[in-house]
Amino acid sequence: METTTKKKNKTFGIVLGGLAIAGIAFGVTKYIHGQHHEETDDAQIEGEISPIIPKVSGYVDRLLVDDNTVVKKGDTLLVLDDRDLRLRVMQAEAALENSMASIETARANKTTSSENVLTSQSNLHASESSIEIAEVRARRAEQDYKRYGELVKTHSVTQQQFEQAEADRDAAVKQLEVAKRQREAQSREMASRQSQRNAGDKGIALAETVVKERRAELEFAKLQLSYAYVIAPASGVVSRKNVQPGQFVVAGQSLFALVSEKQMWVIANFKETQLTKMKSGQKVEIEVDAFPGHKFNGSIESISPATGAKFALLPPDNASGNFVKVVQRVPVKITLENSDQASLLRAGMNVVVDVHLD
């Protein structure tokens, strides 16, 4: 009996010693690991999720994708009924053609006005020449009248000849007055036609402005028509489909989400006390709950400039009098290295990250 008891005590002591050694070894290992590593399980995989939103309102004519459909950048996802948009394009095209015809009319009017100005200038020059001729005739008739007036006194000419000289003088004066009035009329006519030509220049400028406006309206109508075709902004997988054929959708309404195929990353929320030795570029080992036993590699890209609480909808206000010190967590962005299984990762998966501080 005593021998058996001694054996049991010896066995218990060996087991207890082994456990103590194992515990000490585990503690030392964890301590040494903790000096060179920081870990957290408050981490998730993140990815680019783009909401697919129409830019115009309308009825859904064709729906070309379903949940979990893989699409490439530029693929058509949905088509709206575009008949009213096509009519607007036709109206804009007709308005543009009309405005361009107005330009041609304005240019033709300007050409006519320019020719009229040239004609008026010629008429004005002719009037000035007529005035010069009339002035010469009037001077000569005045000289003849005076000369005949002296001769009639000496009876060297008859009274009839004197009266004829007087009549010629009066006629020459009247002709000179008529020529001056014609020149004034031609001057007013030329000024009027010059104003018409200037108005024609302004009319052309106005017509060209209208053409630019109509061309912009046409481009806008075509742009609106292009919005009837909702295309994928990037390659990825369609999810959360929230639309059916025949449904009326409004501009800005979320139709479905597109999860991008671009490389995903990890957002790990470390305690503020864990950030002492962390910095960008440090290596990270990542374990994904969905793939136990497999480790992904990555590195720290950046550390958030503020804690997660500061970005909350209702951030805590310690000055309100209900202060309770809580260890804050700071988001850290970790990029994943490319691997064969990286394509199996999904945004939102839980992960455990281990940062190598050395």
Q: Sorting pLDDT into bands at 50, 70 and 90, what band is 299?
A: very high
Q: Where in the chain is the domain with CATH 2.40.50.100?
A: 52-81+228-258
Torsion sign over Cα 228, 233, 238, 239: negative
Q: What is the CATH number of domain 52-81+228-258?
A: 2.40.50.100
Indicate the CATH number for domain 83-226: 1.10.287.620
d(CA 184, CA 189): 9
CATH topology of domain 38-47+261-356: Elongation Factor Tu (Ef-tu); domain 3 (2.40.30)
In the chain, ranges of CATH 1.10.287.620 domains: 83-226
161 pLDDT band, cuts 50/70/90, is: confident
Residues 6+ apart with CB under 8 A from 290: 344, 346, 349
- The confidence band for 25, taking pLDDT boundaries of 50, 70 and 90, is low
pLDDT of the residue at 153: 72
Query: Which of 37, 41, 31, 32 lies closest to 283 in space, CA to CA?
Result: 37
At residue 285 the predicted structure's pLDDT band, cuts being 50, 70 and 90, is: very high
Q: How is residue 264 annotated by DSSP?
A: P
State the pLDDT at residue 32. 60
